[in-house]
Structure 1
């Protein structure tokens, strides 16, 4: 299958597995992001604490050398916050190492500002002068109380910096997921196709069979679950084959056993008709009996054909294409000898020269006899029955007459199903043809009215070629 149908098992499994994996993956990523958020907050807070206590001795030394400092003193930063090294390490030249995000203020015990970093605000932070963390509107501040409360260092970090760092980390985590989800979908589809290949092989093996083929399926390399299904299907087909065989045997034996007494009764009746005078009152009843016996004889013949068709007759014994032009000509010649077909069949033997297919000659003759007989019975006497050979594998039989209603057209191939017609018949001809065509993987198509005509009926028989 090039595409998955929406109601196929493969599509449903692929969709559910993809959705399930994606949900769990995203849920795991959200939990990881939540955990990462708390770990990053803890790392940032530790950075504030570490910075405060590492700066303390340096600030103390600076204040001693600068007479205690003042509120206007600002500690400079190299390159205005950018620390650069020239030609150190890898020899790449000037290299940016980072930017100062942390800022601090040094305050005396009473709250006066002694000095501040170059990037800190001029006014004292609003954080209370108590050991610990405090959040302002834009900053996270840690206050360190030193020298018995006589000196206080407050280190601040912009909350925007934290949000930016968290956003970049989350994006870095989720971006691979977005890129990997299509890969997961493709991987799931490929894995399902390989995993479900035994199911597809079983399906193909069943679809390739004709309607009368009930031989066991063979799938030795299937997994245990599929093997169980194949075994159950084979058992079911064995039971069905046994039931159909019993039905076919009964039908064939019954029809065969009826042929001799019917033929004998018909012969006696015909003799009786000849012996009775024209004005004898029993002659009419004898004629009626003769017609009834003829219908019964035709019915028994159709039942025998149906039994053969359902027994699986169809494919050529050699398994190769057979030339069918001569067989078709013999069938038409035979039908033209009877009263119904005399002078009513239009056929060009030259068209049949290339006709060939993988079908038994006898089965092909049964199909063509039934199609042509059907056209002769139900067709108009004003136009001939057309038998046309198209290419090397298609035969069309068409006749004029009343069109079949669309709602009845599909049912004509059912047993004992007849359209609204006064012609005699048992309604088995098209059913026999359809059964044989199914045995050879051919195709029977019915059209009414005829293509390009306002009336009539056409049967198109497309044969299977090896």
Structure 2
């Protein structure tokens, strides 16, 4: 129950790929549109200020120019003249609510109430034709304010002029807001349409993935046939191909296990049946000599069964897919060959076989499984000792090439006909039915060599005999 709850929690926390794609597509698009709207608003507001600033500058310059022209004509203008000129300018421009204040340095004209005092001092006089713009809030309304100083000309008795002009921007700002609101409506509609199109596109794109999910969920555990998706995108097709490769590998592994179990059951049936028969006969035997003979047969049959079981276990360990739990380590192949040859010398002497080792390489470092490689070379040497005539010779030779190590197990026996050189690597194939062999030795050799990315082949020795030619690559990478 606890595991089920944990699984349910994991299912709840899983994120939807479709939802993630939609979020990462729609949200950035929405952010870009909002940022674009903000930029458009700022640019529009900037243009409104620029237009207002240009108008305020012209208005202030026109009032100051009227004062200057009156001084040149020696007919000083009055405050009424300035106000008349200002009203005419305002009526002509139609710029909305504009207020102004003007003051001359001689004190003759002082119109309006400036927002800040107009002071004629030395620092101001030195700041020729100064203009200052600012945005201010007055009575909760936005105003654009310009203060301008126009220096006079004492030689022409032309006074200096301070002008402050303020324009109410509330109406223009409201118009800008209305424009932005009107523009937002089509943007929202476009956003909705684009979101629907994106959702439809994502859903349609992920449909093959959903189909693949449904195919896997509804498939029986025994069904290892390839998955088939028509018109799938490249990425989904690659996933489907990877799953098909996994299914094919699993099917091959299951078939190999089935064949192995069937072969093992078939091969074990005979020695076990013989062992049972021998024990039944031994139980009926009355004489000590007959009982001893029966027990010797039981021992021989048990020894053969043990040898068969050991061979089957070694074969199972060396098969593809079963090596994942067996580590590969850095090992010296030359030392392994020398040590194994030395260990098998007593057995060779007992069989009157001359066993020798010819290592032309002092060190041969590879990455491999020492237990399996040991089993490989024991099988080769023992097969040679077992099947060649007495007083024969067996030589284990280690050489190297730039990329490979080569181990040759050569004997001077009768050899193997070309027709049988490939068949000896088949499981349970025996050229001769004599002896206690089970026909697995060379099959084990081939499996171990293949698990180490090597090759093995049978060659004819000169003048007669057999060479088992094993090639192992250098610098193996552990799988």
TM category (shorter chain) comes to: 0.3 to 0.5
Larger Rg, first or second structure (1 or 2): 2
TM-score (norm 2): 0.41
TM-score (norm 1): 0.42
